[in-house]
Chains A and B, each alone.
Chain A
Amino acid sequence: MGFRRFVRRGWLDAERAREMQAHLDHHVDDLIAAGCTREAAVREARHRFGNPTAIREEIYEMNSLPILETLTRDLRYSLRMLRKTPGFTIAAVLTLALGIGANTAVFSVVDALLFRPLPYPRPDRLALLQYHTRTPQEGDSRQTGANGRMWMAVRDNATTVDAAAVGGTAGVNLVARGQAAYVQQQRVAAGYFHVTGIPPFIGREFTREEDVTGGPAVVLLSYELWTRVFGADPGVVGQAITLRGEAYTVVGVLPEKFPITQRSSFTAGQGVDLWTPLRAATTGEGGGINYAVVARLHDGVGWAEARNDMKRLSPLAFRSVPPDTIAELDLAPMQAAMTEGVRQPLLMLWGAVAIVLLIACVNIAGLLLARAVTRTREIGTRMALGSGRRAVIRQLLVESVVLALIGAAAGLVVGWTVLSLLGQLGAEVFDLWQPLVLNGRAVAATLAIALLTSVIFGLVPALQASRLDIQAALGEAGMRGVAAASNRWPRRLLVIAEVALGVVLIVSAGLLVRTFVHLRDLNPGFDDRDLVTLSVSLQDARYRDPVAVQQLFDATLSRMRAVPGVEGAGVALGMPYARLLNNGIRRVDGRHTDPPNEGQITNMTYVTPGFFETLKVPLGAGRIITDADTASSLPIAVVNQAFVDRYYKDDDSVLGRHIASGQVTREIVGIIGNTQQGAAGWGDFGPISPLPCVYVPVSQTTGPFLTLVHTWFQPSWVVRSTTAADALVPQLRQAIEAVDPQLPIAKVSTIDDLRAERLAAERFMMWLVAGLGFLALVLSAVGIHGLIASGVNERTREIGIRLALGATGRQAMMAVVAPGIVLAGVGVAIGGAAALAASRLLRSFLWGVTATDPLTFGAVIAVLLAVAVVASVMPALRVLRLDPAQTLRAE
């Protein structure tokens, strides 16, 4: 039968009834005309016609599609049932929505970062150069990146791959078409765009001749810069721009949204506005691991072959390897190598969100089981009235699916909201390759899980219920004195599981929160109030000489100090909380000395006089840097206490000792207090730590040193003033502009900003896991509440009897509340043990708190038990309002 008739069958039936009546009327007319009495005519007509109702039914059935028919009926019934129990429905939908929403959102992030292919053509053929070392002391180590020597070995000798090195990204000053702009510049080797597979869409990329020291100054523009500054002028190729004070010729423009390859160290996450040739060297920048080398496997070359090719080049790449040491070049698939750093936290996050989903499923299962118990009578009645077992199962199935679908719809809304939140929070933490969108696969997967859960747990009771003894089910009404205990066990186990999973998650969240608070509240080592910092790029041809730099600093600082309200001002290459330059030094004399060509790694920064005074870093011994320390005076250094502790243990006269760095040997003239610094990559130090540090006067640096460090770091002016930042910053800007109008300010930050920036990853993890922990807590509470509430429902009569026999309300209440609290206790115990195991996985994320922190564990246990008590007592309060007489009469 057609769908149209199916939809219209109600209307058609009414038509048919009228039509048949007309038929009878005509027949009666004829019979009367033939001489019958009216009564006889009506009787005869009816007799000849047959049973109109039966015929209408027959037609109605003909017009219906049997499957659709029952489905619509089940659907209507389900919606009615769901409406009738709003508490259950809201709890179930909310649970599903949160579970599905959180999962799709987090999975979408994981997918975008770890699984979605890199946005280059044929990304599976792209690799990053790695090197593998094994020494007897330190064992195996595998690093991504290369120094100049390694890159040149690959560039000049590789036969299986096309490779190109990428240098760091740095902010520089651009002057073009009468505008000055602060832009991000990345240096890349010739052939880089060929390797990525995305060539310039106007012009060409760099040639080998341009990618050598002293080669022509050429530049490639990003599409975005080209439209912003050059008005998308197609004739831009061949035009000159001024970059870092030098003239460059534009040779090409990259297509829109060119995906940036970052070396992931200094400037992760920033966009790139223009590219210049890398001009690799084996000294300076090229002396350390400061390049990333991207390689594309030649067609037909396998990974093993390409890796062997790299291995073959190892002797060229490493100088004088000791006999007991292995040093080899290697390749790793680009995506795997790039995501190494975020993989662990992301997978952990995924684990956390999976726990939430698990809890949500457990909750749904519990809710459905509880519902089945209360519906035993309804189902019994339906079966007694002739409903088939299959019909009952089908109807319960439809109900589960409807519930899951509503939950999924709400989940999509939640997921979308969470995702946009994650995008904002995560932007400073992860290099996002592509915009975050709700992932279709994630939606499908979580929807499937939700459906499966609700169907399975919707069906278990359905099967049970449909097998039930109708008489017993109906009869139970009268005998519901004490509800059978056996059918409550599945639910109890579910509640225990839920609480246990919740404990694991909330303990993790608690540990991360404690870590964050610990890091945030670390003693800065200076007075961190009333400070403003401004950073400016000095990657500029005019500032390659220490004298010019010194003049700039002196002139701007004296102007800033003249601003009313300013108590002090200074410049340093790196501020507190920032990452500092890692530099090798050699101890020349004293108790500990280093042999020539060996040394220790330390943080180093140059400072101007006034820097320590402005920050108010306490001086331990000796003196700080003053105006008397000039290029012609004795080279000096001030070191911090951490440096002394690490490198001058048991040496009681550090002042006057000498340290050598490069060609310069400096005398230690002062020991200053520690300040917190960004410590990523510093062995066992946390994300911010008081690292060993050497401070040198800017006046005693060299031109090559400044040129090199200014490609990586932007020096910062720091000013102490009680004037509000809004009023102060414009005056500070003016001070710099008055001295050099071509130097745009890269960034203005307070110390709090710098600290927050450094803790972005920790904050991200903390908020996420804390959010998930909270979710787990809410879901567990809902689960316990549901269990107790249905317990109270089932036992209303029993409680009525108890009350009638003289039990007090309090006693009756305890009887129903106790199981909830006991179950929560068991769950907490199991969860606590599981959390002890799980928190071990977290260890590398924890600072200032142990993985078994008793305070966290104690607090979580207390909170969960408190929630369990509240969730149990709330539904049990009904008991107090019970009127025993009414309860007993009710059935």
Chain B
Amino acid sequence: MTLKTRQTSGTPDLLQGTLDMLVLQTLILGPAHGYTIATLIAQRSEDALQVEQGSLYPALNRLEDRGWVASFWGTSENNRKARYYRLTRAGKRQLTEETSRWQHMVAAIARVMRPIEPERE
């Protein structure tokens, strides 16, 4: 399923849909609000994936619309009001699919990208 998203924000080289997958993956640990999700993605990638934080929200809107996450207002660890997201059952299914597809792709790319051995004569 393709959906119109403007590539105005977000890391340009982040593949379309990958951000969605990352968000779902982050939420497997439990409900989190937007800032936590952004921070977690940055931390777990050891700051390799520097997502422009605002671009998270269109993704969350899309995920919620598809029914993969659900949201509720709660109070954060800082005692602030925050909107929390949790993974839905459909979201978990989606994550499993995405993960295996991702692994297949990574493996395929890895095979292509394996260093070419010099030709033997």
Chain A positions within 8 Å of B, measured between CB atoms, are 1-2, 5, 12, 15-16, 18-20, 22-23, 25-27, 29-30, 48-52, 54-55, 58-59, 62-63
Contact = CB atoms under 8 A, between A and B. Distances in A.
A51 B8 CA distance: 10
Contacts of B58: 55, 58-59, 62
B84 to A, nearest CB: 10
A48 B52 contact: yes
26 contacts: A1-B65, A22-B34, A22-B80, A23-B33, A23-B34, A23-B38, A25-B78, A26-B33, A26-B76, A27-B53, A29-B78, A29-B80, A48-B52, A48-B53, A49-B53, A50-B9, A50-B54, A52-B54, A54-B54, A55-B57, A58-B6, A59-B58, A62-B4, A62-B61, A62-B62, A63-B65
A51 B54 contact: yes
B82 interface: yes
A54 B9 contact: yes
Contact of A19 (B8, B34, B38, B65): B34
Contacts of B53: 23, 27, 48-50
A49 B34 CA distance: 11
Nearest to A1: B65
B65 A2 contact: yes
Contacts of B52: 48-50
A139 B44 CA distance: 108
> Which of B4, B53, B58, B65 is packed against the most chain A CB atoms within 10 Å?
B53
Given A29-B78, A48-B52, A49-B52, A19 B9 contact: no
Nearest to A12: B61
Contact of B83 (A22, A29, A55, A63): A22
How large, as a class, is the contact surface on chain B? Answer: 20 to 34
B35 interface: yes
Contacts of B4: 62
Given A49-B52, A62-B61, A62-B62, A23 B9 contact: no
> Which of A18, A22, A27, A54 is packed against the most chain B CB atoms within 10 Å?
A22
Nearest to A29: B78
B81 interface: yes
A55 B34 contact: no
Nearest to A4: B65
B55 interface: yes
Contacts of B55: 50, 55
B112 to A, nearest CB: 34
A475 to B, nearest CB: 38
Interface in B57-104: 57-58, 61-62, 65, 76, 78, 80-83
B39 to A, nearest CB: 8
> Which of B5, B39, B57, B80 is packed against the most chain A CB atoms within 10 Å?
B57
Given A16-B57, A27-B35, A58 B8 contact: yes
Contact of B57 (A1, A5, A59): A59
B35 A16 contact: no
> Which of A16, A30, A52 is packed against the most chain B CB atoms within 10 Å?
A16
Interface in B1-43: 4-6, 8-9, 33-36, 38-39
B95 to A, nearest CB: 21
A25 B76 CA distance: 11
A110 to B, nearest CB: 53
Contacts of A20: 34, 54, 57
Given A19-B34, A23-B33, A54 B8 contact: yes
Contacts of B35: 22-23, 26-27
B70 to A, nearest CB: 14
Contacts of B9: 50-51, 54-55, 58
A224 B55 CA distance: 79
A23 B33 CA distance: 8
Contacts of A29: 78, 80
Interface of B: 4-6, 8-9, 33-36, 38-39, 52-55, 57-58, 61-62, 65, 76, 78, 80-83
Contact of B61 (A22, A48, A59): A59
A16 B39 CA distance: 19
A48 B36 CA distance: 14
Contacts of B6: 58
B12 to A, nearest CB: 13
Given A22-B33, A59-B57, A62-B5, 14 more contacts: A16-B57, A16-B61, A22-B83, A23-B33, A23-B82, A30-B39, A48-B53, A49-B53, A54-B9, A54-B54, A55-B54, A58-B58, A59-B61, A62-B58
B9 to A, nearest CB: 5
Contact of A15 (B33, B39, B83): B83
B80 A19 contact: no
Nearest to B82: A22
Contacts of A25: 78, 80
A63 B65 CA distance: 9
Contacts of A30: 39
Nearest to A45: B53
Nearest to B61: A59
A386 to B, nearest CB: 20
Nearest to A51: B54
Contacts of A5: 65
Nearest to A20: B57
Contacts of B76: 22, 26
A458 to B, nearest CB: 32
Contacts of A54: 8-9, 54
A361 B84 CA distance: 59
Contacts of A63: 61, 65
A27 B39 CA distance: 9
Nearest to A60: B61
A16 B62 CA distance: 13
Nearest to B50: A48
Contacts of B54: 20, 49-52, 54-55
A87 to B, nearest CB: 44
Contact of B80 (A12, A26, A48, A52): A26
A68 to B, nearest CB: 16
> Which of A5, A12, A19 is packed against the most chain B CB atoms within 10 Å?
A19
Top 6 A-B pairs, shortest CB-CB distance: A50-B54, A26-B35, A19-B83, A55-B54, A49-B54, A23-B35
Contacts of B65: 1-2, 5, 62-63
Nearest to B34: A23
A31 to B, nearest CB: 11
Contacts of B78: 25-26, 29
B8 A22 contact: no
A55 B55 CA distance: 7
Contacts of A62: 4-5, 58, 61-62, 65
A62 B6 CA distance: 10
A23 B54 CA distance: 9
A210 B95 CA distance: 90
Nearest to A63: B61
A52 B56 CA distance: 11
Nearest to A5: B65
A16 B38 CA distance: 16
A1 B6 CA distance: 15
A76 B111 CA distance: 58
A369 to B, nearest CB: 40
> Which of B9, B54, B61, B62 is packed against the most chain A CB atoms within 10 Å?
B54
A2 B39 CA distance: 30
A48 B55 CA distance: 10
Nearest to A53: B54
A736 B96 CA distance: 102
Nearest to B38: A23
Contacts of A16: 57, 61
